[in-house]
Copies of this chain bind each other. A is one copy, B any other.
């Protein structure tokens, strides 16, 4: 039956939230459209009222989870050092479902449609600009390049820490990378 406009929007958000969590946990291909709809308390048939295809859902999920609240105006951004600590924590490593979209899905996203790659580009530009504000360096260019190297290290460290079976080494990867990212001279 038809539902209210508010309910429609709420349903769409629930689909995107469920998809974002499940995709990050298990990847795009292992998650089915039916599973996402079920997790959103809906039946699979209604999926195509919201999205053109599963590929479309992937692109929209990336935008939904990667570009939330466009520059949350004025609200205090966590300092770079706090952000890095949370990012390079065991908690973030162990909870990909609620973590960084890129650390879970950047490689798979690279093989997706153009819309997805475009969103990842935008998110990367935003992240670099954010980090550059507090990166070391005497010129804006140097700070920007330092920000890029730090963001690469953080992303790579979480991906690596999640990939391996050795917990001690995994912890070490996170802490050694945090140390390098925090070091003022780096």
Interface residues of A (CB under 8 A from B): 26-27, 29-30, 102-111, 114, 117-118, 120-121, 124-125, 144-146, 148-149, 151-157, 159-160, 162-166, 169, 172-173, 176-177, 179-181, 185-186
Contacts and interface: CB of A to CB of B under 8 A. Distances in A.
A178 B120 CA distance: 21
A153 B154 CA distance: 7
Contact of A163 (B109, B144, B151, B162): B109
Contacts of A114: 165
Task: Report which residue of A106, A121, A148, A185 has the largest number of chain B beta carbons within 10 angstroms of its beta carbon.
Answer: A148
A165 B107 contact: no
Within the oligomer, what is the number of copies of this chain?
2
Contacts of A103: 107
Given A106-B163, A148-B173, 13 more contacts: A29-B30, A30-B111, A106-B162, A120-B163, A124-B173, A125-B169, A145-B176, A151-B156, A152-B156, A152-B160, A154-B156, A155-B160, A156-B156
Contacts of A155: 156, 159-160
A118 B156 contact: no
A153 to B, nearest CB: 4
A58 to B, nearest CB: 13
A117 B163 contact: yes
A62 to B, nearest CB: 10
Contacts of A149: 153, 157, 176-177, 179-181
A26 B169 CA distance: 29
A177 B148 CA distance: 7
A63 to B, nearest CB: 14
